[in-house]
Amino acid sequence: MLTKTWDQKLVGLVTDGVFPGVLNRMNIFGYSRTGKSTLVHQLLKSERVTFHQGMPLDDLIGGWALIDGRTVWVDGPAVRALRTGSCLQIDEANEVPNECQTMFYALLDDPAGITLPSGERVNASPGYSVVTTMNPCPDVFPHPVYDRFDVYLKADTLAEGTKRALGPFAKNAEQVIGFKQPKLTWERPASVNAFLAANKLKQKGYDDSRIADILGWEGKAVTDFLIAASTR
């Protein structure tokens, strides 16, 4: 059996209705220039924001603006995603600014919901999902963040779209994909949310092997999950 690449897995999950749908929180980590952000945006028509250390909270949830002489609330990308039930894409998620930390937790909750400075409570509409992308491995996240993601994908190959953009140089680019970049040695550990996600898939009739695959476990982690999930 051929092992699927991360982008094939992503396309498969979206096509099969696993993401968004059954699972709604995904982290894609890996080498730069592999096509992570582009592919997510194209596939999921996402509301998109990029974290950086100096980013104010307004850039995430929105803020008051003076329009036609009146102060009116203008939704940011996170609130638009919540209201419309669409995908919130956060690039460079490891750069989460201090000001946004708590709101980041709330956006990753299931069900998600935030209270705006106007006092309005905005709960996630059906279809809301979050995809974060970043270069380092997820062990840079504090535990409450890392254990809110249902699916992890390791972007260690060039996405099909990137290969098309590279044309005949795709093979050259593949040779240098991890050049001078940190090794992607992280393996998803067991966690409460991993088993929450597993149960959501189980409820939908997925078998344990498929569940392990969807959750991003590979090699002996798959068989360990099969053993651990056995009931006798």
Partner 1 sequence: MWKQDTGSILVTGVPVERGRPIHIEHEDGLARTDFGKGGKVEVIHTPQKVFQRVHEIMHARHSDPRRMGRQYKGLPDEVWNIVEDARIHLGHWPWKRGMTPEPIKEATMEFLGSEMDDAAKHLIEDPEKRGTWPDFGTRFRQAAILIGMGENEYVAIGKADFVDTRQATFAGEMFGLIRANREGKAAHQLYTVFFPPPPPAPWEDGISTTRESGSKIIPANAVRRSGPQMEIIELPLTEVIREAVVGYRRATSGSRLHRPSLRKPVLPQRLFVRRTPTRPDGTILVDASGSMGDWDHVRRWCEKAPFGTIAYYAGNGKSGWLYVYARNGKRAAKIVKPKGGGNTVDGPAMDWLLTQPKPRRMITDRGFCDAADSEVQVVRLSILERAGEIEVIDYSENNPEHHV
Binding footprint of partner 1 on the chain (CB under 8 A): 187-191, 195, 207-209, 217, 220-232
- CA dihedral of 193, 194, 197, 203, whole degrees rounded to 10: -120
Query: Is the Cβ of residue 116 or residue 229 nearer to partner 1 in the bound state?
Result: 229
Query: Is the Cβ of residue 11 or residue 222 nearer to partner 1 in the bound state?
Result: 222
Helix (H, G, I), strand (E, B) or coil at 79: helix
Query: Is the Cβ of residue 121 or residue 143 nearer to partner 1 in the bound state?
Result: 143
On whether the CB atoms of residues 89 and 37 are closer than 8 A, the answer is yes
Q: CB of residue 190 vs partner 1: minimum separation in angstroms?
A: 4
Q: CB of residue 8 vs partner 1: minimum separation in angstroms?
A: 21
Query: Is the Cβ of residue 163 or residue 200 nearer to partner 1 in the bound state?
Result: 200
Q: CB of residue 195 vs partner 1: minimum separation in angstroms?
A: 7
The rounded distance, in Å, linking the Cα atoms of 55 and 97 is 6
On whether the CB atoms of residues 188 and 144 are closer than 8 A, the answer is no
The rounded distance, in Å, linking the Cα atoms of 179 and 36 is 17
Q: CB of residue 186 vs partner 1: minimum separation in angstroms?
A: 10
